């Protein structure tokens, strides 16, 4: 395989100088490359009052987890306004979609808005958000989470902006590292890649064994694509008496205890894949700290040669500056003065 970044599987250990240079390049990527890919300019719509074209009706709420150790995760389905426009992206294909949700101002919090991964239905008239519901906190993003946890079905939520990010749909070997609710952003690319004949492996990290969500959807993929899809759960705080195990009823799924680390990455993503070649793209979804940590581990595991890193790495599934990405855009075009409605 020929790429602009040569893949290194050298068994020689790094010298201290080599390691420091490598980590310096990684830091430069984290400070510059990620910003280029994800910190797209906003449209200014989030600063404006809500209007009919930015109001989305909550159609349903499904509680996916509700244990005593972690915040509950809800699946929220919203209708799109008739005037909503999905941003152009990705040579006519739908990109990785995100929306910004804005909560009403509170006495001690203003401009409360937060981005979420959005999943369109087949008709493109509604979308789902999977949201971890935190108790009301001091930060605006936690305030949005608590607000969404309390919105009643059939009420309207202000969704001022939407964007779409381009990604490598033609990738043949993809490793996904998904932390907690981040699995929601990994599932759709996994489905589309498998449909196109790719091999996909997921590391799904959670604290507790009852934290994972979307297991039914993931296990459907295991059944539909045997050999080309596998799923490994990494449980960092297993209950007493639990053991590392494979799922006896479904090939390709297993559970191990401990965090995602260099050894786990090597076991799952290293070496030759089924078509005789090495991993082509990574996608990691979690907090910024989690994602940065995985990128560092990829380098330390020598799954790719970071000595040739220049700007946005081609081994990441999102194309970044090499793709056709939209900026944050208003969910709907501005109405004329005659059409505007005071809410």
Of 12-21, 123-132, 171-180, the poorest mean pLDDT is in 12-21
> What is the DSSP pairing of strand 96-103 with strand 112-117?
antiparallel
> What is the DSSP pairing of strand 156-165 with strand 119-120?
unpaired
In tens, the pLDDT along 135-176 reads 765 555 568 999 999 999 999 999 999 999 999 999 999 999
Distances (CA, A) of 173 to 1, 127, 223, 315, 319: 12, 28, 19, 11, 15
CATH number for the segment(s) 16-38+167-322: 3.40.50.80
Judged against a pLDDT cut of 70, whether residue 8 lies above it is answered with no
Judged against a pLDDT cut of 50, whether residue 337 lies above it is answered with no
Q: For residue 65, what pLDDT is reported?
A: 86
* Coil vs helix vs strand at 128: strand
Q: At 144, phi and psi to the nearest 5?
A: -65, -40
- How wide is the angle at C-alpha 302 spanned by C-alphas 300 and 304, nearest 5°? 120
Contact 99, 45 (CB under 8 A): no
pLDDT category at 329 given cuts 50, 70, 90 is very high
In tens, the pLDDT along 61-85 reads 999 987 777 789 999 999 999 999 9
Q: For residue 334, what pLDDT is reported?
A: 86
Q: For residue 122, what pLDDT is reported?
A: 74
Q: What is the DSSP string of 88-153?
A: P-GGGS--EEEEEEEEPPBTTB-SEEEEEE-EE-TTSSEEEEEEEEPPP-SSHHHHHHHHHHHPPT
Q: For residue 189, what pLDDT is reported?
A: 95
Q: For residue 339, what pLDDT is reported?
A: 44
* Average pLDDT estimate for 309-328: 88
Q: What is the DSSP string of 167-204?
A: B-TT-SEEEEEEEGGGHHHHHHHHHHHHHTT-EEEEEE
- How wide is the angle at C-alpha 162 spanned by C-alphas 284 and 175, nearest 5°? 15
Contact 37, 166 (CB under 8 A): no
Judged against a pLDDT cut of 70, whether residue 16 lies above it is answered with no
Distance CA 77, CA 127 (A): 6
Of 36-40, 85-89, 173-177, 201-205, the poorest mean pLDDT is in 36-40
pLDDT category at 26 given cuts 50, 70, 90 is low
Q: For residue 15, what pLDDT is reported?
A: 53
**CB under 8 Å to 73, separation ≥6 — which residues?**
63, 64, 65, 130, 131, 132, 133, 181, 213
* β-bridge mates for residue 283, sequence order: 176
Contact 173, 7 (CB under 8 A): no
Judged against a pLDDT cut of 90, whether residue 134 lies above it is answered with no
Q: For residue 142, what pLDDT is reported?
A: 62
> What percent of the chain has a predicted confidence (pLDDT) above 90?
57
Residues of the chain with CATH 2.40.30.10: 45-165
pLDDT category at 305 given cuts 50, 70, 90 is confident
Contact 132, 181 (CB under 8 A): yes
In 3D space, the residue among 292, 310, 298 whose CA is nearest the CA of residue 7 turns out to be 298
Structure tokens at 278: 């090495």
Burial 85-96 (b: 16+ CB within 10 A, else e): ebbebbeeeebb
Distances (CA, A) of 154 to 61, 63, 340: 10, 17, 22
* Average pLDDT estimate for 90-112: 82
Distances (CA, A) of 201 to 137, 178, 226, 230, 275: 35, 11, 12, 5, 14
Pick the CATH number of 45-165 from 2.40.30.10, 3.40.190.10, 2.60.40.1930, 2.60.120.10: 2.40.30.10
In tens, the pLDDT along 252-303 reads 999 999 999 999 999 999 999 999 999 999 999 999 899 989 988 998 898 9
Judged against a pLDDT cut of 70, whether residue 89 lies above it is answered with yes
* pTM for the model: 0.83
Residues of the chain with CATH 3.40.50.80: 16-38+167-322
**CB under 8 Å to 322, separation ≥6 — which residues?**
312, 314
pLDDT category at 247 given cuts 50, 70, 90 is low
Distance CA 313, CA 328 (A): 23
In 3D space, the residue among 177, 155, 179 whose CA is nearest the CA of residue 50 turns out to be 155
Q: For residue 43, what pLDDT is reported?
A: 81
Q: For residue 270, what pLDDT is reported?
A: 96
Q: At 190, phi and psi to the nearest 5?
A: -60, -45
Which run of H or E residues covers position 79?
Answer: strand 72-79
Q: Give the chain's mean pLDDT.
A: 83
User: Which residue's entry shows tokens 């890919």?
Assistant: 37
């Amino acid at each position: 395989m020929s790429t602009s970044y040569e893949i290194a599987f050298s068994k020689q250990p790094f010298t201290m100088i080599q390691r420091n240079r490598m980590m310096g390049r990684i830091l430069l990527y984290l400070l510059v490359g990620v910003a280029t890919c994800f910190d797209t300019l906003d449209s200014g719509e989030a600063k404006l009052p809500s209007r009919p074209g930015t109001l989305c009706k909550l159609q349903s709420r499904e509680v996916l987890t509700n244990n005593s150790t972690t915040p509950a995760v809800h699946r929220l389905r919203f209708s799109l306004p008739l005037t909503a426009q999905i941003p152009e992206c990705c040579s006519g294909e739908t990109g990785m979609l995100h929306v910004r949700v804005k909560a009403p101002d509170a006495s001690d919090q203003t401009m409360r808005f937060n981005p979420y991964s959005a999943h369109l239905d087949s008709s493109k008239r509604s979308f789902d958000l999977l949201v971890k519901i935190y108790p009301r906190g001091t930060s605006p993003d936690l305030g949005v989470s608590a607000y969404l946890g309390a919105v009643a079905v059939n009420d309207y939520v202000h969704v001022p902006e939407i964007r779409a990010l381009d990604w490598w749909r033609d990738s043949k070997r993809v490793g996904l590292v998904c932390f907690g609710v981040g699995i929601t952003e990994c599932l759709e690319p996994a489905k589309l890649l498998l449909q196109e004949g790719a091999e996909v492996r997921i590391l799904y990290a959670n604290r507790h064994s009852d934290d994972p969500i979307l297991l039914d959807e993931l296990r459907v993929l295991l059944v539909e694509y045997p050999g080309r899809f596998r799923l490994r759960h990494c449980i960092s705080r297993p209950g007493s008496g639990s053991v590392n195990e494979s799922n006896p009823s479904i090939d390709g799924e297993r559970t191990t205890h401990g965090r995602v680390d260099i050894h786990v990455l090597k076991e799952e993503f290293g070496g030759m894949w089924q078509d005789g070649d090495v991993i082509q793209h990574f996608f990691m979804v979690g907090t910024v700290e989690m994602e940065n940590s995985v990128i560092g581990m990829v380098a330390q595991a020598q799954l790719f040669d970071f000595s040739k890193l220049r700007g946005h790495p081609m081994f990441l599934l999102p194309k970044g500056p090499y793709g056709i990405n939209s900026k944050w855009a208003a969910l709907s075009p501005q109405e004329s003065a005659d059409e505007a409605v005071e809410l």
